[in-house]
Structure 1
Amino acid sequence: MIVCHCNSISDRDILSAVEWMRAADPQTIITPGKVYHALGKRPECGGCLSLFIGTMEKSDSLGVPAVLQNLRPRRGRFAGK
């Protein structure tokens, strides 16, 4: 399925880029901008951004690396959880 019509980027392109980025650097934060860059493209109109991010979220490799989780103490109603 085409996700970004301006750049002809498919859902498979996005998922492959996320997998490749995670394999290349297990501790990187993967953002839509980095995915566009990995695909050699630039965002155009931004109309696809919500679908683009939704597609990225389908990848098991997207999560924040464990080394970067919980870096700051929790405050307020989430403290202690």
Structure 2
Amino acid sequence: MIVCHCNSISDRDIHAAIDWMRAADADTIITPGKVYRALGKKPDCGGCLDLFIGTMEKSDRLGVPADLANLRPRRGRYAVK
């Protein structure tokens, strides 16, 4: 599925970039900006951001490294339920 039409980024591209970043550095914090950079792209209009982040959240490898997970309480969208 195409997530970002401006840059032709698919859900597979996003998951592959997350897997690659996690394999390269298990302790890295993965952000949408880092995913774009890993794919050699730059965000354009931003219309895909909600879908982009939603696709990232479906990845099993996205999680925050254990030693950083409890630094402050989570609120809002990323709150632990």
Q: Which amino acid aligns with 1:9?
A: I
CA distance in 1, matches of 2:68, 2:44: 31
Structure 1 partner of 2:14: 14
Structure 2 partner of 1:77: none
Residue pairs, 1:1-81, within 5 angstroms: 1-72=1-72
Which deviations, in whole Å up to 9, do the C-alpha atoms of 1:35-76 show, x marking residues without a partner? Answer: 00000000000000000000001100001000112235x6xx
Q: Which portions of structure 1, spanning 4 or more consecutive aligned residues, are displaced by more than 4 angstroms?
A: none
Larger Rg: 1
User: SS at 1:3's partner residue?
Assistant: strand
RMSD across aligned C-alpha pairs, in angstroms? 1.0
Report the count of equivalent residues: 73
- Unpaired runs of 5+ residues, structure 2, are 74-81
User: SS at 1:22's partner residue?
Assistant: helix
Please report the TM-score for the alignment, with normalisation by the length of structure 1.
0.86
User: SS at 1:67's partner residue?
Assistant: coil
Displacement of 1:8: 0.2
CA distance in 1, matches of 2:51, 2:22: 20
Query: Percent identity among equivalent residues?
Result: 81
